Amino acid sequence: MCLKLELEGLMISIVSAYAPQTGSPDEVKETFWRDFRETVQRIPKEERLVIGADLNGHLGEGNSGDEEVMGIYGLGERNAAGWTAVDFTKIMELAISNTFFLKKPRQSHLQ
């Protein structure tokens, strides 16, 4: 889903997405990532982009080699879906902003 807002002359596109779960067929995952990429690419560069998504992946702790797109506050160990999310973020020149901030323990689903 994509929502466009104009606030004080600034266009903001908000994209909401939910990736298929790990056990989903590869074809379903590939279709999601293709459609997600196409949606993001249709947003003009001069607009602000906010993505709120559950990409169903673990990004892992640390960011060695991925500093341009993520901070050090991922959780657990990176899985295949996490690699896909990081690769997508690099290709689209985005950032995974919630990894730049330490979360309180109660905000973690891995307690």
For residue 58, which of 108, 16, 7 has the smallest C-alpha distance?
108
Per-residue pLDDT of the chain (111 residues; tens, 9 = 90+): 899 999 999 999 999 999 999 899 999 999 999 999 999 999 999 999 999 999 999 999 889 899 999 999 988 899 999 999 999 999 999 999 999 998 877 655 554
How far is CA 51 from each of CA 3, 16, 17, rounded to the nearest angstrom?
A: 10, 6, 8
Residues 61 and 74: beta-carbon distance below 8 Å: yes
DSSP SS3 for 29: helix
Spans of all domains in the chain: 2-107
Give this prediction's pTM: 0.84
Q: How far, in Å, CA of 32 to CA of 29, rounded?
A: 5
